[in-house]
Amino acid sequence: MVKQKIKKLLIELANHTCENCRKVFKEDTLCIHRIRRGNIGGTYHWRNCMVLCKECHKKMHQGEF
């Protein structure tokens, strides 16, 4: 699956580090967040994605930052 390949590559490029809290995590606890949401045309392109831990990803969707 293309999305999984992109996820793995982005996580490796981020050195397994959340781009918000800057903590290092195992690959399976990191998420790829699309900056421009999918429902408005955002894709899983490296320029439209952030690597976030699950907690920061949840906070991002709740509008906390």
User: Mean pLDDT across the stretch 31-54?
Assistant: 90
E-assigned strands of the chain? Answer: 30-34, 49-53
Residue 35 pLDDT > 70: yes
- The sign of the torsion formed by the CA atoms of 3, 46, 13, 35 equals negative
Torsion of CA 8, 6, 25, 63, to 10 degrees: -160
Domain that holds residue 41: 2-61
List, for residues 3-27, the tens digit of each pLDDT value: 888 899 999 999 999 999 999 998 7
What's residue 2's pLDDT?
A: 60
How many domains is the chain built from? 1
List, for residues 54-65, the tens digit of each pLDDT value: 999 999 999 877
d(CA 62, CA 23) in angstroms, rounded, equals 20
**Nearest alpha carbon to residue 58 among 27, 25, 18, 12:** 18
